[in-house]
Amino acid sequence: MSSRRGGSKKNNRDKAFFDYSMLFIVIFLLCFGLVTLYSVSSYEAMLDFGEPGYYFRKQAQATLFGIIMMFVVMFLDYHIWQKLAIPAYGVSVALILLVLTPLGYEVNGARRWLNVGISLQPAEVAKVGMIIFFAAYVCKMGKNIQTLKGVIRTLLLGVPISVLVLTITDNLSTAIIIFGIIFMMVFVATPNYKEYFLLGAGGIGVASVFVLLVKKGVLTSEQSYRFGRIEAWLNPEAYAGTTGFQTLQALYAIGSGEIFGKGLGQSMQKLGFVPEAQNDMVFSIICEELGLFGAGAVLLMFLLLIWRFLVVANNAVDMYGALLVVGVMAHISLQVILNVAVVTNMIPNTGITLPFISYGGSAVVFLLIEIGLVFSVARRIRLRNSGD
C-alpha cells in the first residue's frame, strides 16, 4: 500500500512546461528568413562582393550564434537578470556613447555601429537592456506604479536612452521602438488605462500637426530630411527620383506579386530597383515572389508567436517573468507592425527591419537572446498532473 501511495505522489508531481509550438515558430521564421535573404540578396551580393551567398553566409553565422545564446539564456534562471537590471541600463548607455569614439563607424552614411572585434549595433543591446531594467523597476515600484506619478516617473526613465539613440545614432525608428517597449510594459502593469489613452491621443495629435505643417509647406525638407520623408509619404510620385523612389519601387513589387506571387527567386524588383532590399524592404520582395498568400502566411506566423508570448506571460509564476515576456512581445510586435506599415506606405519611411527575416547580425542575435528569456520564463511554469 505504501509503495502504491509513493508511486501515486511521483506520478502526480507537476510537470515542467516547454513551449514546443513557440520553438517551431521561431525555427520556421529563422529558416524562412535565411531562404528569403538568399533569394533577395544574391544579385546585390554578386555585384558588390563577387559572391551570391555573401549576405546569406554572414546571416547564417549570426543565426547559429544566436541559437546557441538562446539556449544558454533559456537554461539560466531569469531572476539572475533582475539583479543585473541597473548594470543592463548602464551598459546600454555606455555602448551607445561609444559610437562617438573611434570604435564607432558608418554604414551607408549612418554612424550606428561599433567595431569591437565583431560588428555590433548598440541599439539592439539597448532593447534587451531596457526590457531587463524596466521589468525589474516596475516590480520594485510595486503598487506605486498604479499611480499617475509612478507612471510618469517610470516613463521619464525611458526618455534618456531613447534620446541618446535618436541624437547619437540618428535612429528615430529604434528610439520609438525602445520607448514603445517601455510604454507597453508600464501599460500592462497598471490597471488604469484612461491616462494611456490620453497620452496616445496626444501623441497622435502632435504627429498630425507635424504632417499638416509639412503638407502646408511650413516645414520642408530643407529644414530636416525627416520632413522630406513625410513629403514623400504624402506624395511619393512627386519625389519618384529621390526620397520617394524606394517606397514606389516597393509598392510596384507588392502590386506585381498579386495573389500567389511570381515564384521564389523570380522577383524583378530585387535586381537593383529596390535599394537595400535585404534590409527594411524585404517584405515587399516576399509579396512579389510569394504574393498576398505568402505574405499573409508570414504575418500569421508572427501572430501565432505573439499568441504564444501571451500564453507564457499569463501563466508566468511572477510579475518579473511576465513583464520580461511582455517586453519581448512589445518589441517584436511593434517592429513587425511598423515595418509592414512602412513598406505599404501607411506611415513615412523610417528604416525598420522585419524581425528574423531582414539582414542584420546584431538584430538576429539579440532577438534570439530575447526569445531565450521567454523560454526561461516558460520553463518555470508547472503543469498540474490531475492523476488519480
Distance CA 92, CA 326 (A): 20
Average predicted confidence (pLDDT) for the chain: 87
What letter does residue 280 receive in the DSSP assignment?
A: T
Percent of the chain with pLDDT over 70: 92
pLDDT at 103 over 80: yes
pLDDT of residue 223: 58
Residue 195, all three cell numbers: 491616462
Confidence band for 144, pLDDT divided at 50, 70 and 90: confident
Q: pLDDT tens digits for 41-54?
A: 999 999 889 899 99
Task: Using alpha carbons, select from 271, 344, 340, 358 the residue that is nearest to residue 36.
Answer: 358
Q: Identify whether the C-beta of residue 265 lies closer than 8 Å to the C-beta of residue 251.
A: no
pLDDT exceeds cutoff 80 at 163 = yes
- pLDDT at position 4 over 60: no
pTM here is 0.91
Distance CA(208)–CA(127), nearest Å, equals 27
Q: In residues, how long is the chain?
A: 388
Does residue 5 carry a pLDDT above 50?
no
Mean pLDDT of 337-363: 91
Distances (CA, A) of 214 to 210, 220, 352: 6, 6, 22
What's the CA gap between 96 and 162, in Å, rounded? Answer: 11
